[in-house]
Amino acid sequence: MAHEATRVLLDESRIPNAWYNIVPDLPAPPPPPLHPGTREPIGPADLAPLFPAELIAQEVSGERFIEIPQSVRDVYRLWRPTPLIRARRLERALGTPARIYYKYEGGSPAGSHKPNTAVPQAYYNAREGVRRLTTETGAGQWGSALAFACAQYGLDCEVWMVRASYDQKPHRRSLMRVYGATLHASPSPVTEAGARILAADPASPGSLGIAISEAVEAAAGAEDTRYALGSVLNHVLMHQTVIGEEAIEQLAEFGETPDLIVGCTGGGSNFAGLAFPFLRGKLAGGTGPEVRAVEPAACPSFTRGRYAYDFGDTAGLTPLLKMHTLGHDFVPDPIHAGGLRYHGMAPLLSHMYVLGMFQAVTRSQSECFEAGVRFARTEGIVPAPEPTHALAETIAEAERCRETGEEKVILTALCGHGHFDLAAYDRHLAGEMEDYTLPQERIEASLAGLP
Ligand SMILES: *Cc1c(COP(=O)(O)O)cnc(C)c1O
């Protein structure tokens, strides 16, 4: 249901009453997804085997605001509103005149921002009579979030988890099983896509692209089953705008407006969720913050990928999406920020990047863990490996401010905690963290496989 507000209001629990859809405010709409066979723009019927009607409608919606159903707000209330915290101890340790604020999403049941979209996705599927959701997960954060959301609405949840993470992160598996999900290590023998890859390479470590192929195949082949994606799509980015809407109100209580917003980008959803509401005023002709995306040096979609139509998965089952991509066959090096190891980027963000609406930079794995440790020792929260990318950039910016004396207000998304990633922190502390350099030839080789 759409409504005619010009801004999002917080309800009596201080939770936003609507999600913000940035698409109608853009100077030009993003290029449409294409059917892989006909190369024509896809229609709702093409997506119906995968998604419920309401989410398809949201994916292509031209409404600026979409009301958040009461049932979803009731679940959000378990952990929302999330805190906005000024990092005074980090500022002091850095000796910076910059003021650093972080919006902390790690207090959700799954420990990240992912339940912000998992809950509405489960809700709309359940309302339309779906019985089972399939999905992929890399590091396990999205799988945990969807398993939790499915438990809220009585849906079965089946998760294909990238083999490398499945082996490295047994406790993420346990969490998903506690919430009632069924798990497969991907590639798995239970799908054609997985069996084909296993036949070629029985020791395949898997990738997000492979796991997506398996989950999509399982959903498309069953009447009562749909598929859920944790990032990349327009409706996912929109659901995450609750982060930015709350942050606008909370920063106003501090009497502040941000000069710079920094976020990490895997598929782009936590970054978009924080930044889009702040860009609304800028798009309406006013002023607004500078915005900066941070991606891993080992998986640099914005900074070294190509803006082209590509598949969202490895087997080529998804529609073609116009996005910054390293190629759907690209298998990133095994960095610990599993949530950032995706070959593509949200088409909506890719479009906005080309329009010059934000910048993108990369950070290496070891400087990110260094930033994570520094943050933990000052602010107390151990960040997930993904948001340490945003923290590394935030710290570098605050250090630049120390040189120039600039009192910049920096806002960053601390989109998850790192309690399931302590083995990676151990490696960092033992000096065993590897930095991978990504040779240009590897990118060229993988881009040669673009459709
Ligand atoms: C999944 C995940 C990411 C990457 O996904 P985005 O869509 O880019 O936000 C980043 N951080 C955490 C904590 C995640 O769980």
59 class by beta-carbon count within 10 Å (0-12 exposed, 13-18 middle, 19+ buried): middle
For 147-177, the pLDDT digits (tens) are 999 999 999 999 999 998 899 889 999 999 9
Average pLDDT for 398-409: 98
* 5 or 426, higher pLDDT: 426
pLDDT digits (tens, 9 = 90+) for 289-340: 999 999 999 999 999 999 999 999 988 889 999 999 999 989 888 888 888 9
* Closest ligand 1 atom, residue 111 Cα: 13
Pairing of strands 18-20, 65-67: antiparallel
383 is in which domain, residue-wise? 79-111+235-447
Residue 188 has pLDDT above 80, yes or no: yes
- Give 7-30 pLDDT, tens digit per residue: 677 777 789 999 999 999 999 999
Q: Quick one: 184 and 308 in the same domain?
A: no
Give the span between the Cα atoms of 433 and 255, in whole angstroms: 40
Ligand 1 centroid vs 106 CA: distance in angstroms? 11
Q: Which atom of ligand 1 is nearest to the CA of 272?
A: 9
Q: What band does 78 get if pLDDT is binned at 50, 70 and 90?
A: very high
Task: Point out which residues pair with 288 in neighbouring strands.
Answer: none
Using CA positions, which residue lies closest to atom 5 of ligand 1? 266
Based on the fold, state whether residues 383 and 440 are members of the same structural domain: yes
pLDDT score of 338 = 85
Looking at the structure, tell me whether residues 422 and 292 fall in a common domain.
Answer: yes
Pocket of ligand 1 from Cβ distances under 6 Å: 112, 114, 141-142, 231, 264-271, 339-340, 384, 386-387, 415-416
Cα(311)–Cα(314) distance, integer angstroms: 7
In 3D space, the residue among 92, 106, 82, 156 whose CA is nearest the CA of residue 126 turns out to be 156
Whether 73 is in a domain gets the answer no
CA atoms within 13 A on the CB side of 323: 29
Same domain? For 122 and 193 the reply is yes
* 8 Å CB contact between 19 and 65: yes
Which pLDDT belongs to residue 216? 95
Please tell me the residue having the least CA distance from ligand 1 atom 13: 416
Domain count, the chain: 2
Helix (H, G, I), strand (E, B) or coil at 106: coil
Share of the chain above pLDDT 90, in %: 88
Give the per-residue pLDDT at 207. Answer: 87
Cα distance between residue 209 and residue 85, in whole Å: 35
User: How far does residue 295's CA lie from ligand 1's centre (Å)?
Assistant: 11
350: its two tokens:
């890719």
Mean pLDDT of the chain: 95
**Which of the listed residues 211, 229, 247 is the one where a domain comes to its end?**
229
Dist CA 167 CA 205 (whole Å): 9
Q: For residues 78 and 151, give the distance between their C-alpha atoms in angstroms, rounded to a whole number.
A: 14
Q: What is the reported pTM?
A: 0.96
Mutation pick for ligand 1 pocket among 82, 114, 146 (CB with most ligand atoms within 8 Å): 114
For the CA of 270, the closest atom of ligand 1 is 9
| pLDDT tens-digit readout, 110-133 | 999 999 999 999 999 999 999 999
> What's the pLDDT at 317?
87
Same domain (yes/no): 254, 330: yes
Out of 136, 231, 239, mutate this one to test ligand 1's pocket (max ligand atoms within 8 Å of CB): namely 231
pLDDT of residue 6: 52
Query: What CATH number is associated with residue 261?
Result: 3.40.50.1100
**CA–centroid distance, residue 206 to ligand 1 (Å):** 19
